[in-house]
Structure 1
């Protein structure tokens, strides 16, 4: 079995959260979804489990952080700057808060951030494939 990640997030309103993630391109896996949880699929290896507060409480007795705190920032990578910008705009239109941290723009990469309606922080990043693989940019002949 290949390695996968399941990110579990507590949400106040399961329907609202599901609609938000679907508007960003996640798809629902009904096999692992019910009235207390929804399995939102980003890729073959990345799944986001959105869980009602009651369902969350069956996994841990630790408190759910309030919307004003940040416990973790989740980062997704994209193939282009345009894809990052499009997803940020879709998130804003679907009820998320965009650019909660200042956007970062460099020649070889860019990052933007957003909050989902429950206050979970997502970073969206594009990096030049040559830089990501450790290659140096092409040098002009002297």
Structure 2
């Protein structure tokens, strides 16, 4: 369990409990594609595989997800987005996520695609 009073891993500046923790617990759903992407990053950081699977589109969701406990997620930089707002049905979010694995720093640069499924934002895939 991640400390709700700790700074949220998504780099918002808010506490985990008032930021991504609300989405992870199911208290509320992410209102935009950007918030969903940030909450998914935080789910990787806190090891919440169930949330990642719940917020993955049914057509691309894997049957299971094993998170590597040796990965430490360090920082998230959002580079830009298209669509994904309160009244949109699709959107993209480009980001760079920084991590350390086996003592080596690395980064993941992705332009993720999000759509609404059953009224909620979900991760569809990464654009090539």
The answer to whether TM tops 0.5 is: no
TM-score of the pair, normalised by structure 1: 0.26
Larger gyration radius, structure 1 or structure 2: 1
